[in-house]
Chain A
Amino acid sequence: MATAQTRAAARLMAAPAVLLLLAWMVIPLGMTLYFSTLRYNLLMPGMEVFVGFENYEFFVTDPAFWIAFQNTLVMVGSILVITVGGGILLALLLDQPIWGQGVVRLMVIAPFFVMPVVSALVWKNLLMHPVNGLFAWLARSAGFTPIDWLSQVPLLSIIMIVSWQWLPFATLILLTALQSLDREQQEAAEMDGAGPGSRFWYLTLPHLSRAITVVILIQTIFLLSVFAEILVTTGGGPGNATTTITYLVYVQALLQFDVGGASAGGVIAIILANIVAIFLIRSIGRNLDR
């Protein structure tokens, strides 16, 4: 019975939760915007002065910013390509009827449940370590000189670690999409003379387009803010080789104690994320309408 009173009561009941969530978002955002216009260093308390856009200028003209910007794009782009490509492949494999399908699927999903810090540490110390790591051992067994992954190819290492974490997510989404592919359509294509390659290209891939869009959009949101993996393994280095925008903001705020500059960096990160989002929605978002 949705009378005017019950509707009003419902609004009243929901109000505290709504207000709390709103405050949770609006207050930090407002404070960030406010701080970004101040000269605000934790080492010099009580000396906050309004400086307008100086912090922004400072952040953008920092040579590390453009490197971080580039690193972010390379990292996010590569991980998207690897996870979507690998996810499609794995989904196709897991869709085949095999013995022990349930267990295999569970194991493929497993990396997603490992905390970022833990998986980064496992990769750093058990796999990529130049002395004790599995990769180094493999290289030595084959007679090669082991690579010091995290200092020789740091960005690639980060990409590998994060891809490994996100591959299960992509696989899972794409597998469920694959399972909803109509069997009669595939049979019809088979009778129409389409081989496995053509069936994949003309039938499976268009069918997966929506799921691929979802994977790309969701992953982009999370990948732009990758932090723990970088902190634990390379610490943004060597030099700025693995510094992303997110990491740069952290450096600004908590290593240089420059709250004003970090806030400006945060706002710039928000703007960049929105530009990426608009670009993505424009180019692939229409897949969601169909």
Chain B
Amino acid sequence: MGKIELRAVRKAFEATEVIPDLDLDIEDGEFAVFVGPSGCGKSTLLRLIAGLEDVTSGRIDIDGRDMTRVAPAKRKLAMVFQSYALYPHMTVRRNIGFPLKMAGLDRAAIDRKVEDAARILNLTPYLERRPGELSGGQRQRVAIGRAIVREPAAFLFDEPLSNLDAALRVNMRLEISELHQKLGTTMVYVTHDQVEAMTMADKIVVLNAGRIEQVGSPIELYSRPANRFVAAFIGSPKMNLIDGREAERQGAAAIGVRPEHIRVSRDEGAWKGTVTVVEHLGSDTFLHVDVPGVTSINARTPGEYGIKPGEPVWLTPEEGRIHRFDREGRAL
């Protein structure tokens, strides 16, 4: 019930073009994540879908119907804002019930739906409180509650986790994913955090300067990035990108190898270098290695690896895991 199609959508604020011609399909029931660095137009794109911004040209279809000029309230979309945008003077019950009240439902129906939503989101004990008396995570859930009572065709999330602390963020990530499993409704999620994108998405849309760099499942983007930008953006820690002589030997302008695809050895390998920094995470050890003639390379070894800065080490990129890019940055 929630297929979203964008056709040749363009957005300009006066002279500055934020989004040049863009086409995108989001399938029904899909969890789509827009990801990109700040200022890449991902939030603008979400606001265009929501109807909070008008498109300069192009067409937006929701559920197969042209919604380009339709008011936000009539698009059957619900949005969760970065600041949660709860109404501070209303209790949780009235906050969640507000869209229903605006839709003209009677009190009994509103109460029933609000209580159902509260049960799903574990908010029942807090129904009579005001937003000011809730923690960040609870406010977040109220905002989601306000969205789900409307039974929208699709949910829009605008960086909903960026105001939470790290531990809570991981929790809420899981809760939103579970909610998606439970409801099966289309979700469009905007974030600058590639970890959120990788863990939650069915489909990731990588944006850069208003342009779509690549669309695909998390694993597709990880294993076959279309260009240097996506290669560097997806994956943590970042992919090692190497230009120069070493790349030319592989017949490319640049090559990229992810830290986890580099074998580390004390006595043999392709590149010899000196360890500069060692990061022990327990589960993994990251070595920052200065390889003469190549660059500084980050390599990951599983488990504990007993090596100290200043010691020599050999690195070998795994065959078939090397990404090659041409002069324009496109993958070969």
Contact = CB atoms under 8 A, between A and B. Distances in A.
- Range class of the B interface residue count: 20 to 34
Contacts of A50: none
B240 interface: no
B79 A206 contact: no
Contact of B72 (A191, A202, A203): A191
Contacts of B77: 191
A193 to B, nearest CB: 4
A189 B143 CA distance: 12
Contact of A193 (B82, B86, B103): B103
Contact of B79 (A185, A188, A207, A290): A188
Interface string B72-90: 1100011101110111111
B55 interface: no
Interface residues of A, number: 18
Interface string A183-194: 011011111111
A206 B146 CA distance: 19
A290 B73 CA distance: 30
A203 B79 contact: no
B50 interface: yes
Q: Is the interface of A mostly helix, strand, loop or mixed?
A: helix
Contacts of A198: 102
B99 interface: yes
A182 interface: yes
B305 interface: no
A189 B78 contact: no
Contacts of B229: none
Best-surrounded residue of A188, A198, A206 (most CB of chain B within 10 A)? A188
A184 B81 CA distance: 7
B98 interface: yes
A206 B103 CA distance: 21
B299 to A, nearest CB: 43
Contacts of B103: 193
Contacts of A203: 87
Given A184-B81, A198-B102, A202-B98, A191 B87 contact: no
A120 B51 CA distance: 51
Contact of B73 (A182, A184, A190): A190
A185 B79 CA distance: 11
B200 to A, nearest CB: 22
A198 B100 CA distance: 13
Given A184-B85, A187-B81, A203-B87, A192 B50 contact: no
B98 A192 contact: yes
B176 interface: no
B168 interface: no
A189 B98 contact: yes
Interface string A105-141: 0000000000000000000000000000000000000
Given A192-B98, A193-B73, A193-B103, 18 more contacts: A182-B83, A184-B81, A185-B85, A187-B72, A187-B85, A188-B79, A188-B87, A188-B146, A189-B87, A189-B98, A191-B51, A191-B52, A192-B150, A193-B99, A194-B98, A202-B98, A206-B89, A290-B89
Interface of B: 50-52, 72-73, 77-79, 81-83, 85-90, 98-99, 102-103, 146, 150
**What 3 A-B pairs come out closest when comparing CB atoms?**
A188-B85, A192-B99, A193-B73
Interface of A: 182, 184-185, 187-194, 198, 202-203, 206-207, 209, 290
